[in-house]
Structure 1
């Protein structure tokens, strides 16, 4: 049985690409604002550090809801561009209301609303890009996610330079509103699988085998993204603690953590030209192997700061390039993957914290190694399943948007 896809007409215009890039830089900025704002939030609302950190948890809870809303909106016939516009407005409303809220419960509600918009954009833009650039488009996905990293780096800087955290959230809201006209033109390629005419159906045993392999691939990708995002957030969240334990000062350790994010962002842009010559699968395998090497090097106190920067280089391209690889096999799984990756980012760093409580800061390096090795094993398993003959989804469209 040969499986094809009915091609949809090109739908992603250059204006939509620019809107998506702006929106991703904006949500990177938005996510990065909560942490640096904690001291001012505590002083303004009279809350504990844990209470202030609840803003980020509420943000991600809303984000998961926003991610899962994309496929639901499509079922009801809502155009992609309209859904993206609503998501941008949600971000703008939440970001404007957050600093203006008279009490902490209302501020958390505003963070939740902004999070729903964040998730709608994160899941929606990723879904559209993986559909339009399903074949050989991992350069575009890395460019998109590199812009997210630029926003994330700019967030703490904005908090430090502007007079009060509220102005940073207002700037985020303005960026969201400015992106509405451009992103409103965005639309993915919703193609339905069809059996080629004149091709006899495959034997029942073959269909069952393909179904079993397809299930293995889906579970493998879900596990890979959860492990990868757990490694990313775990390294970023616990690097400073680990480096202080090796003898570095707090300021030096914090600077090294900034280096992780800079390396993380730079690697996404650096890998774009490589996408012309190497498949998404090859880049994911290479970067995942590099995470094992870098994570192992964090065991050496003298090399730990460099090892974490190398880990940032290795981790950076994994999410966008992994989405491109996923689109070749299970494009409809994108919203689920994005949502579950957020769960991994929420659950795994606290698990590392429990290990630190029990075994000390040395457990951080071992946690990085375990996550990296598990990720590499998952990727190797996915590659082996692919070699057994699982069909690859045909590219859905030839888009008229800029190509990398």
Structure 2
């Protein structure tokens, strides 16, 4: 008999849902913490890798694109693998990636590590997000916000650990690898729960190109902020240590936004929140460009934290619950995640001290205007 997920009973005790899906919830949260930590290390590690491997900062920025290319490969693979993918093997793939980066044996192997970590990251987003939505039924959107909020825990802690270890990316990535090994070893029961939720009934697939474009551009902004933001702060006159600490503050604000969504999402439609996040991001980027890069960057963290959950919920509602919907939504975002840092990295060195933030303000401002024009259609 299929397990009652609470979909038909809004008053179902959330404690019962957590108990019946405890392994899936625990491994999902631990995996998202690892994803946040690994991703947050890229930014402060770039200047160190540039010196260690004797490469230009623009070349070091390719590490961000390598990660997102790996994500794209992982998401594409999910179209074929689908429900057969288990939490255990996607976490193992992430662990292999951070392990290679921890070896520090050369730039090509470091890039390969970023690709593998990204591939596991991409698979994990497709494995965990839709299954958490289905497993918790009516509580699914709130639990999805909670899950994505835990990404910020790893993202906040990783830069602080990086600084505490003397700005050493090898040791920092090695810690992530050890954590990944532990999660992989404990992920077996979660795979059995995931296989149950993955077989839930599905709706037809309905392609919504405008929503995919919104997601692609928004995630491109997020990818540039997390990957290139610390370098932009250094160009604006801050030290490497200050930039790493501000990245932690960025992700603290990121985490706060996703926790706020657990409450605010019951008051306003998801696309309305997405539009407000874009407007806030534009205002924060202008603050960074005109007044204080640090304050503006932290503000960008808050509003960027709202991008994915609000975009994902809107797109899922518009496109249905077909197994191909999640990889399509996430794949569209990865298009921006791959190409935006690839395009921005070579120009970062030639931009003025605040050029990165001016570009961010223009992109988020233009997207916010487009979102306002489509507000009624996306909320209907």
Q: How far is the alpha carbon of 1:249 from its aligned partner?
A: 5.8
Aligned residue in 1 for 2:9:
none
Q: Is the 8 A contact 2:212 2:315 kept in 1?
A: no
Is there any run of 5+ residues in structure 2 with no aligned partner, and where?
A: 6-16
CA change 1:94–1:223 in 2 (3 A) is: same
Residue number in structure 1 paired with 2:8 = none
Q: Does 1:18 align with 2:7?
A: no
Structure 1 CA distance, aligned partners of 2:332 and 2:154? 22
Secondary structure in 1 matching 2:268: coil
1:306 and 2:295 aligned: yes
Aligned-pair CA distance for 1:245: 6.3
Q: 1:58 aligns with which of 42, 46, 66?
A: 66
What is the CA-CA distance between 1:120 and the residue it aligns to? 1.0
* Partner deviation per Cα, 1:182-231 (whole Å, 9 max, x = no partner): 4312233543448xxxxxxxxxxxxxxxx9xx65xx22211111221222
CA contact (8 A) 1:141 1:324 kept: no
CA distance in 2, matches of 1:287, 1:225: 13
Task: Compute the displacement of 1:256 (Å).
Answer: 3.6
Asked if the contact 2:92/2:181 (under 8 Å) is kept, the reply is: no
Contact 1:142 1:317 in 2 (8 A): no
Match of 2:125 in 1: 122
TM-score (norm 1): 0.73
**Structure with the larger RCO, 1 or 2 (CA within 8 Å, 6+ apart):** 1
Q: Call closer, same or farther: CA 1:381–1:251 in 2, change over 3 Å.
A: same
Q: Residue 271 of structure 1: SS of its match in structure 2?
A: helix
> Does 2:327 align with 1:327?
no
2:366 corresponds to 1:374: yes
Matched with 2:90 is 87
Aligned twin of 2:328: 336
2:10 matched residue in structure 1: none
Equivalent position to 2:178, from 171, 175, 192: 171
What is the distance in 1 between the residues matched to 2:128 and 2:295? Answer: 33
Q: For this pair of structures, how many residues does the alignment match?
A: 355
Q: Which has the larger radius of gyration?
A: 1
Contact 2:159 2:245 in 1 (8 A): no
| Residues 65 and 337, structure 2, Cα contact 8 Å, conserved in 1 | no
Structure 2 partner of 1:69:
77
CA contact (8 A) 1:36 1:156 kept: yes
Query: Offset at 1:37?
Result: 4.8
Give the corresponding residue for 1:395.
none
TM-score (norm 2): 0.77
Counterpart position of 2:151: 148
**Paired residue for 2:222, among 216, 232, 235?**
232
Following superposition, the deviation at residue 304 of structure 1 comes to 4.2
Secondary structure at the counterpart of residue 187 of structure 2: helix
